[in-house]
């Protein structure tokens, strides 16, 4: 009888102030990441009458409403792009950020049975929400390509930047989402604050309208908003509108990295008390 032994021994000690994730364990938990993602996707459309059609319908309807409200009723300028396209690109991009944020935040509390009963790197729970959001985004993009072709709009080479901006949106959303989910374990107030906050952010960011529509007196405020930079980068890549200034692009990359690392640290700092508090 030989005992099965792994090379490494795991040492558990009281948590310190800075709790860096164990990368090896995170890598070994990739299957959980994937299974959680699949579960979210499967569950969303199981026992629905039109199933996957919802993925297509949702962005179309949202974009149509924005096109009517902002384009027709308010008559805001877009710089020559058809309003429906403009709104569609904006909402699709925004949904990546807000989708990850709003789904990641309640994820720990929603899975509290698991958190208090089974060990696995907790960070997987909020992060796995990315998968379903990404799937929605990919479907929206496919739809968007069709819309581009119909309207004869060609974004040009700028489209190559799209994966990078998508990563930025994911990093911003999951960074904030990680922090929010960790705080929600102790303070359920986050449940009530967050949807409201996301809505405020959406109106404070040129999602369904362009920066040109912002009064000059307020524009400095909009220019300072990292989410504005994100939206401008997305529209640059998706619609071929003029790109944002270099400092905004650099700023976006920096802010995304800071958000992700910061969110991760906040999360890890609280991780080991989750089971006692949840």
Partner 1 sequence: MNSTADSPPDTAISTRGLAKSYRIATSGRSHDRLSEALVARVRHPFRRREFETFDALHDISFDIPWGEAVGIVGRNGAGKSTLLKILTRITAPSGGRVELGGRVGSLLEVGTGFHPELTGRENIYLNGSLLGMGRNEIRRRFDDIVRFSGVEKFLDTPVKRYSSGMYVRLAFSVAAHLETEILAIDEVLAVGDAEFQRKSLDKMRDVAKDGRAVLYVSHQMQTVTTLCTSAMFLDRGRLVHHGSVDDVMTAYRDSFEDWRARQVDADRRPGTGELRLARVDTDEVRDPADDTVVTFEVGANPEIVGKYFVSCHVVDHHGAVVAQCDSRLVSQWFDPSEPRRGELRIKNLWLKPGTYTIDAFLCQNGIFDGWRGAAAFEVLPHLPYPALVMDEGVELGAVFADFDYEAW
Pick between residue 120 and residue 222 the one whose CB is nearest to partner 1.
120
Other Cβ atoms less than 10 A from the Cβ of 128: the count is: 23
Residue with tokens 């179309």: 60
Pick between residue 212 and residue 273 the one whose CB is nearest to partner 1.
273
* Residue 10 binding partner 1, by CB under 8 A: yes
C-alpha closest to that of 187 among 98, 109, 263 = 109
Cβ at position 223, least distance to partner 1 in Å = 31
Cβ at position 11, least distance to partner 1 in Å = 5
**Long-range contacts, stretch 197-201, CB < 8 angstroms, 24+ apart:** 198/98, 198/101, 198/102, 201/98, 201/227
Mark the segment that binds partner 1 (CB under 8 A) among 43-51, 61-69, 142-150, 216-224.
Answer: 43-51
Take residue 173 and report the two structure tokens written for it: 């959303």
Take residue 147 and report the two structure tokens written for it: 């819309």
Cβ at position 98, least distance to partner 1 in Å = 21
* Interface with partner 1 (CB under 8 A), residue from 79, 188, 195, 219: 188
* Residue 32 binding partner 1, by CB under 8 A: yes
* Interface with partner 1 (CB under 8 A), residue from 56, 114, 197, 257: 114
* Residue 31 binding partner 1, by CB under 8 A: yes
| Residues 190/180, Cβ–Cβ less than 8 Å | yes
CA distance 166 to 103: 17
Residues in 245-274 at the binding interface with partner 1, rule: CB under 8 A = 272-273
Q: Report how many residues bind partner 1 under the rule CB under 8 A.
A: 42
C-alpha closest to that of 171 among 236, 240, 97 = 97
CA distance 89 to 165: 13
Residue with tokens 């710089």: 79
Pick between residue 92 and residue 130 the one whose CB is nearest to partner 1.
130
Take residue 99 and report the two structure tokens written for it: 């989708």
The C-alpha torsion from 177 through 178 and 180 to 185, rounded to 10°, is 140
Mark the segment that binds partner 1 (CB under 8 A) among 6-14, 55-63, 213-221, 258-266.
Answer: 6-14
Mark the segment that binds partner 1 (CB under 8 A) among 11-19, 51-59, 134-142, 230-238.
Answer: 11-19
Judged by the rule CB under 8 A, the positions of this chain that interact with partner 1 are 1-6, 9-15, 28, 31-32, 34-36, 38-39, 42-43, 46-47, 113-114, 116-120, 183, 186-190, 272-273, 275-276
């Amino acid at each position: 009888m030989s005992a099965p032994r792994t090379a490494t021994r795991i040492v558990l000690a009281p948590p310190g102030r800075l709790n860096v994730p164990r990368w090896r364990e995170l890598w070994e938990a990739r299957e959980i990441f994937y299974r959680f993602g699949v579960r979210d996707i499967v569950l969303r459309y199981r026992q629905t009458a039109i199933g996957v059609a919802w993925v297509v319908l949702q962005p179309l309807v949202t974009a149509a409403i924005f096109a009517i409200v902002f384009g027709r009723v308010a008559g805001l300028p877009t710089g020559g792009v058809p309003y429906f396209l403009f709104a569609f690109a904006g909402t699709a991009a925004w949904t990546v950020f807000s989708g990850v944020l709003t789904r990641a935040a309640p994820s720990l509390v929603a899975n509290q049975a698991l958190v208090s009963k089974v060990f696995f790197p907790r960070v997987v729970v909020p992060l796995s929400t990315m998968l379903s959001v990404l799937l929605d985004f990919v479907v929206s993009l496919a739809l968007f390509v069709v819309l581009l072709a119909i309207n004869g709009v060609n974004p040009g080479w700028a489209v190559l930047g799209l994966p990078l901006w998508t990563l930025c949106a994911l990093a911003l959303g999951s960074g904030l989402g990680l922090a929010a989910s960790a705080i929600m374990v102790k303070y359920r107030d986050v449940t009530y604050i967050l949807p409201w906050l996301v809505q405020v952010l959406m109106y404070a960011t040129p999602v369904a309208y362009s920066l040109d529509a912002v009064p000059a007196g307020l524009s400095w405020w909009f220019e300072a908003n990292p989410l504005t930079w994100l939206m401008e980068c997305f529209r640059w890549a998706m619609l071929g509108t003029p790109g944002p200034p270099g400092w905004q692009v650099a700023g976006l990359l920096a802010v995304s990295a800071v958000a992700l690392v910061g969110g991760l640290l906040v999360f890890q700092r609280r991780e080991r008390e989750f089971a006692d508090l949840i």
